[in-house]
Structure 1
Amino acid sequence: MADRLPHALRDRDQFDAALAGRRPAVFLDYDGVLTPIVDRPEDARMAPSMRRVVHELAGRCSVCVVSGRDRVVVQELMGLDDLVVAGSHGFDIWHPQRGRYEHEAASGFEDLIAEVTQRLRGEVGDLAGVAVEPKRASVAVHYRLAGAEDARRVEQLVKRLLDERPDELKVTPGKMVYELQPKLDWNKGRAVDYLIDTLGLTGEDTVPLYIGDDVTDEDAFAALRGRGISLYVGDPDQLDRRTDADFTLDSPTDVEQFLATLATLAR
């Protein structure tokens, strides 16, 4: 069981002390943070009220959405065009004023991802409740709607692919999804470090703040340990791991309220 974390809304005095009057630079995961987790990934669209809050906050401080999804998919789901969006775990970044720029490590793996995508589609893509989602720098296989036997088939195939390409592939598990990526020293923590430097968010009066809900976000929590603020969305007592988050929020509904509060602090 995880140690009890202070709640960013209910333990407001503790959060204010951590912020210490500095301007936040806000990094947000998408699924499970700005939208609830849904059965079909394509249904994860931001509610109008969340969209308004995020838009208002972006007018007051730096806001960046960091997602494992492809950048263009996240932008379409959000319905916003005034945010910095880092898709594919930060490999593909779009800035509303500067346009698009890619991290150099994102290229050179197109053939590998295409081959893995073909294997997944050929062997499990037709199973009921299984969805193969190719991305720019990875491929995800979702099994939230699959039966137990088909979910095991997905797991077995992922293990075979890793065994066949131990020096080329790694897997990032998520909530009822496996994401197969090139075996690079890159994760959301590295992506947030890169974005902080690239976007010029290194001043002493700025504090990076990351909100996430999944195991992939733990790398970002760890990267900000001691120099930023991280918030886990969900019940830490239900985790089977220790979290490096500093605070907790219960749900995307809490996130919306918290971001609205943050907007007033960033005036």
Structure 2
Amino acid sequence: MDSTSAVGDLPSALDSAALASRLGEHRPAVFLDYDGVLTPIVDRPDDAVLSATMRTTVRKLADRCPVCIVTGRDRDVVQQLMGIDDLTVAGSHGFDIWKPGQGVISPDSLGDFTELVADTTATLRERLADTDGVTLEPKQASVAVHYRNAGPQARQHTRDVVHALLDELPDRLELIPGKMVYELRPAVDWNKGKAVLHLIDVLGLDSDDIVPMYLGDDITDEDAFAAVRGTGIGILVGSPDDPEMKNRVTAAEFGLASVDDVARFLSELGR
């Protein structure tokens, strides 16, 4: 049986009897990506501030069931953008996992990549200096190169610079695919899916009465969809009409077309 589906073939999570049946009397444990799920994708990453309505919705849901944020953003950045600092957060694609009242709960085996990320950021800053429309976003365990606002020539130059650096450090860096962004991170066997499984374990969410539920929109969320498939529920956020969803196949089993639909879904789930 194929474990992936085309985006356009996904049943909506808003009116799916199959999803309701899967949940039944079980309690959901909800894992949420941030950009593209709780907030729309914006031209400037710093502008992706959580709306007051969505903040209230997330807080109400967290009163009913476990809620964790799983994001490529640095933890402190996403907490500031949300205006919420009392939820468990897996930031930096799961390299920085933090729980309120307990602190950092990342696996000790991940190690410290501060020097590698700093050197990579400095090299990109030098090679992309004066490249119009390109923005660097240094993070704890990666550096993102945003090119959404760049013209065709600047985009090509950015691609050339990024791939040249990857060729120079093939055993130390890898490229994370994303929406109008190149993100370079340490080449280690870790991703959002492994972070979710780690959270399920350390938070004690692996009991029979709990169903893990993951909502994400990006290619990096596919690891999490695959991780929960079979025992949990994956929900892809995005319209099939979006050019960035063209030809996309996903391990998610249900879909939501927009951030507004996410708000409706989470509101119903939190009742």
Q: 1:105 to 1:151 in 2, by over 3 A?
A: farther
For the 8 Å contact 1:125–1:132, the answer to whether it is kept is no
Between 1:230-239 and 1:136-145, the stretch displaced more is 230-239
Alignment counterpart, residue 11 of structure 2, candidates 6, 14, 17: 6
Query: CA offsets, 1:110-162, max 9 Å, x none?
Result: 22111110011111143221111111111111011011111111111111011
TM-score for the superposition, normalised by structure 2: 0.93
The offset of 1:180, in angstroms, is 0.3
The offset of 1:191, in angstroms, is 0.8
CA distance in 1, matches of 2:129, 2:209: 49
- Which residue of structure 2 aligns with residue 133 of structure 1? 137
Give yes or no for the alignment of 1:246 onto 2:253. Answer: yes
CA distance in 1, matches of 2:159, 2:78: 26
For the 8 Å contact 1:8–1:258, the answer to whether it is kept is yes
The offset of 1:258, in angstroms, is 0.3
CA distance in 1, matches of 2:105, 2:15: 39
For the 8 Å contact 2:7–2:255, the answer to whether it is kept is no
Instruction: State the percentage of identical aligned residues.
Output: 56
Please tell me the residue identity of whatever aligns with 2:177: P
Query: CA offsets, 1:193-243, max 9 Å, x none?
Result: 111101110100000000000100001001111110010001246432311
CA distance in 2, matches of 1:104, 1:142: 30
- Which residue of structure 1 aligns with residue 104 of structure 2? 100
For the 8 Å contact 1:125–1:131, the answer to whether it is kept is no
**Runs of 4+ with deviation above 3 angstroms:** 236-239
For the 8 Å contact 1:190–1:220, the answer to whether it is kept is yes
Q: 1:207 to 1:77 in 2, by over 3 A?
A: same
The offset of 1:88, in angstroms, is 0.8
CA distance in 2, matches of 1:53, 1:177: 29
CA distance in 1, matches of 2:137, 2:109: 21
Alignment counterpart, residue 179 of structure 1, candidates 161, 175, 183: 183
CA distance in 1, matches of 2:64, 2:129: 44
- Which residue of structure 2 aligns with residue 202 of structure 1? 206
CA distance in 1, matches of 2:197, 2:133: 36
Please tell me the residue identity of whatever aligns with 1:244: A
1:1-267 matched pairs, under 5 angstroms: 1-2=6-7, 4-11=9-16, 13-236=17-240, 238-264=245-271
CA distance in 2, matches of 1:59, 1:100: 22
CA distance in 2, matches of 1:198, 1:148: 46
Name the SS for the 2:236 alignment partner. Answer: strand
Name the SS for the 1:102 alignment partner. Answer: coil
RMSD: 1.3
Please tell me the residue identity of whatever aligns with 1:208: P
Matched residues, number: 263
Please tell me the residue identity of whatever aligns with 2:9: R
Between 1:129-138 and 1:118-127, the stretch displaced more is 118-127
Gaps of 5+ in 1: none
